[in-house]
A and B are shown apart, each in its own frame.
Chain A
Amino acid sequence: MATLEIKNLKKKFKHTEVLKGINLEIKDGDFLVLLGPSGCGKSTLLNTIAGLENSDSGEIIIDKINVNLSEPSQRDIAFVFQSYALYPAMDVKENIIFGLKQRKISKDKIESSLNKIVELLKITELLQRKPAQLSGGQRQRVAMGRALVRDPKIFLFDEPLSNLDAKLRIEMRREIKKLHKNLKTTMVYVTHDQTEAMSLGTKIAIMNDGKIEQFDTPNNIYNNPSTVFVADFVGSPSMNFLRGAVKKNNNNFFFIPENSENNSLDISGLNMSLVDQNEILFGIRPEHVYLKKEHALRVTKDHNFIEIEVMPELHEYIGHEQIITFNFSGQEILGKFSSSIKIELDKKISLFIDLNSVSIFNKETKTRI
């Protein structure tokens, strides 16, 4: 259990900057998820926290101690690798206690720690087997066991679930969440899967191109994304972005979609002070558009919604849900609805947008207004 602080961490690889000044702080017991696309630097950041890679400048402070110069084994961390990285020539038992033996822990203590973990993860029957004789899920649990038995200050996970099939992934995700609830240890978890991130993390750092785009709770990341990148990355399907301009008219604000002066929308309901801007992005998630006025009324207690006219063009059925692609003045809007609603394609209908859930972004800087 420990706090983690990262101050202005920078790292270059050959001539490219892979970490461009990372600043983070999490409390004891937090579950921090580093989320981002391939190449954003999240794995590099994790490896640097672990001491498996060196940083060029900046500080890493675990439990108030600066660990920049410490070896991985001295930082009191545990690491679960994407490929599990089990020692191929040793059996499961030896794999798990290898680290303890390196630290010269007494045989008795090793036995008791081992037994605790083995019972917790239910891998007693696997102890004599070699990694090659285990299934993917079993290897993953052994990798977890090796990490748990160290009783570290911080757990580090590098995409541990990516190599599992979908069903197993969801199961193991829940196991990890349970683990965090029981152990209350600080965890740092890397993934590119936003569902995983949202369900596991207490704090999420969304990374892009070596920088942190937003560091916040899952709720805020979802509802108040600070950049277009964050808004686009989280949520499936991603947020709709309508291109256009904002114009002030007396005390009212209007959103004017690109090339479509007549379809301006009254967005005065947005509790923001806006100024005239020519290039903005109007963001709304597919989950926050409604087909029936009653739905909109029910959801927006303060009746803060607007009505727009759209033409449904495409229909994707996903079981309990359906995704409809609408044409709004030449731009696409996706809407996600329950499958029980029947919609006719190519016939104009109305769509209702919850203004409380709208995000406006500056098209240039891609940041929230």
Chain B
Amino acid sequence: MLNKKLFYRFFLLLILTLFVIYYVTPLYVMIVTSLKTMDQIRGGNLFSLPNSINFEAWKIAWSGRGPGTSDTFLKPYFINSLIITIPALIISTFLGAINGYALTKWKFKGANLIFLLFLFGTFIPYQAILLPMARTLGFLGISNSPIGLILVHTVYGLGFTTLFFRNYYVSISDEIIKAAKVDGAGFFKIFFKILLPVSLPILVVTIIFQFTQIWNDFLFGVTFSFGESAPLQVALNNMVLTSASVKYYNVDMAAAIMAALPTLIVYILAGNYFIKGLTAGSVKG
């Protein structure tokens, strides 16, 4: 019987390892390709290791080939994404927190309906609002600027952030709020001194989620900006899509990795935390 158990165990580990290969392979291919020269790429195959570690492609992907050339490189668009992501992230998270707090700890008429409307809003396909939003941004004069995208991401992130905080605050005892009221603390005092200090878990989840959503966005970026004010993913796509005669696959791969690095790093550092937070919501429904 021991053999049977060992066999199952071995089989299990084999399958799990195969899946590791499945998930890691694209990343491996990206890294390996980005470190090769175009000759090596043409000569070798997808999986072959580079002859020598060559960061030339990375340099080009980041800052281009120098004056006189016209291809896209990532640096300015990376900065654009930073300018867009950070404010939108901060504003939507803060509003979500205070909304979640107000909706759960201060019962007022319609609170549940309002929450439902927020919840439903997170499911809508954005195609249903692209046109009116484009017109509104144009009307406000911010259609090709970071401010426009900050507005868009804040507005459409509100539903998620409110959802996260609301579900979290629902499970915090109401009696603590009552005790604070008896002690004479008001709306904001209770929020900042009592609730916020214990909100770290959900803050981390929300910030990671929002950062990933906004940083990885393409649809809003490509619809509401063009040219120099585009965010990173749009620039990446433009780079890869160039109908230039020669495709520099190593540069493409280097660019893709660089575009993915921020979210990847966040994920490696706090990923498990993030999953715990997210799945707690999903599983409960």
In the complex they form, do A and B come into direct contact, defined as C-beta atoms under 8 angstroms apart? yes
CB contact between A52 and one of B176, B181, B193, B197 (< 8 Å): that residue: B181
* Contacts across chains A and B counted by CB atoms under 8 Å: 60
A296 to chain B, nearest CB (A): 50
Chain B residues closer than 8 Å to A103, beta-carbon distance: 184
Chain B residues closer than 8 Å to A50, beta-carbon distance: 182
Whether the Cβ atoms of A81 and B181 lie closer than 8 Å is no
What's the Cα separation between A47 and B179 when bound, in Å?
A: 11
Q: Is A87 close to B, CB under 8 A?
A: yes
What's the Cα separation between A146 and B180 when bound, in Å?
A: 11
Whether the Cβ atoms of A81 and B183 lie closer than 8 Å is no
Whether the Cβ atoms of B182 and A77 lie closer than 8 Å is yes
Whether the Cβ atoms of A87 and B176 lie closer than 8 Å is yes
Chain B residues closer than 8 Å to A318, beta-carbon distance: none
Chain B residues closer than 8 Å to A77, beta-carbon distance: 182
B190 to chain A, nearest CB (A): 10
Whether the Cβ atoms of B185 and A79 lie closer than 8 Å is no
B134 to chain A, nearest CB (A): 44
Q: Is A252 close to B, CB under 8 A?
A: no
CB contact between B184 and one of A47, A81, A83, A99 (< 8 Å): that residue: A99
Whether the Cβ atoms of A79 and B184 lie closer than 8 Å is no
What's the Cα separation between A70 and B198 when bound, in Å?
A: 30
Chain A residues closer than 8 Å to B173, beta-carbon distance: 83, 85
Q: Is A231 close to B, CB under 8 A?
A: no
A 32-44 to B, binary, CB cutoff 8 A, 1 in contact else 0: 0000000000000
Interface residues of B in 181-220 (CB under 8 A from A): 181-185, 189, 193-194, 197-198
Q: Is A82 close to B, CB under 8 A?
A: yes
B170 to chain A, nearest CB (A): 15
Whether the Cβ atoms of A89 and B194 lie closer than 8 Å is yes
Nearest neighbor of B194 in chain A, beta-carbon distance: A87
Q: How many residues of B contact A (CB 8 A)?
A: 16
Q: How many residues of A contact B (CB 8 A)?
A: 24
With contacts A52-B182, A102-B184 known, is A88 near B175, CB below 8 A? no
Chain A residues closer than 8 Å to B135, beta-carbon distance: none
Chain B residues closer than 8 Å to A234, beta-carbon distance: none
Interface residues of A in 212-245 (CB under 8 A from B): none
A110 to chain B, nearest CB (A): 13
Chain B residues closer than 8 Å to A89, beta-carbon distance: 194, 197-198
B62 to chain A, nearest CB (A): 43
Chain A residues closer than 8 Å to B198, beta-carbon distance: 88-89
Whether the Cβ atoms of B181 and A102 lie closer than 8 Å is no
Nearest neighbor of B174 in chain A, beta-carbon distance: A85
Whether the Cβ atoms of B183 and A99 lie closer than 8 Å is yes
Interface residues of A in 74-96 (CB under 8 A from B): 77-79, 81-90
A63 to chain B, nearest CB (A): 17
What's the Cα separation between A78 and B180 when bound, in Å?
A: 11
Q: Is A98 close to B, CB under 8 A?
A: yes
Whether the Cβ atoms of A81 and B194 lie closer than 8 Å is no
Q: Which 6 A-B pairs have the closest CB atoms?
A: A73-B184, A89-B197, A99-B183, A102-B184, A85-B175, A85-B179
A-B contact pairs, 11 of them (CB 8 A): A47-B178, A81-B179, A83-B173, A85-B178, A87-B193, A88-B176, A88-B197, A98-B183, A102-B184, A146-B179, A146-B183
